[in-house]
Amino acid sequence: MNTKLKAAIKHTAPYAVGGTLLAASLAACTRGISKQQNWARTPYFLLQIFIGISGYTLFSGTFLVYKVAGVIVLVTGVTGFVALFRTPQGN
């Protein structure tokens, strides 16, 4: 393999592992929400707050592409937030 390719793989591997763990935890929270388990509500709520912060940061960007992406991310976060409160709580 090329040395630059090895270096790129070496430096991006931790991000891939972290992204995979984040996706797995999000999937677990989504499954918990769908089964009306109360333990999943707090991590899902915090995730929606972080998504909202990311969307606002993108919307504050200077280019139109950032603003459009920010609106899309903000709408996704608000939709998840509203869906969280519309989901009935379990016992």
Mean pLDDT of 1-20: 73
Residue 50 lies in a domain: yes
Q: Which of 34, 30, 53, 54 is nearest to 43 (CA)?
A: 30
Residue 63 lies in a domain: yes
Please tell me the distance from the alpha carbon of residue 37 to that of residue 78, in angstroms, as a whole number: 21
Q: How many domains does the chain have?
A: 1
Residue 91 lies in a domain: no
Question: What integer pLDDT is reported at residue 91 of this predicted model?
Answer: 57
Q: What is the pLDDT of residues 48-80, one digit of tens each?
A: 888 888 889 888 988 898 899 999 989 988 988
Residue 58: CB atoms within 10 A of its CB come to 19
* Angstrom distances, CA of residue 66 to CA of 21, 59, 81: 26, 6, 22
Domain that holds residue 21: 3-86
What is the pLDDT confidence band of residue 1, given thresholds at 50, 70 and 90? low
What is the pLDDT confidence band of residue 41, given thresholds at 50, 70 and 90? confident
Percentage, residues of the chain above pLDDT 90: 7
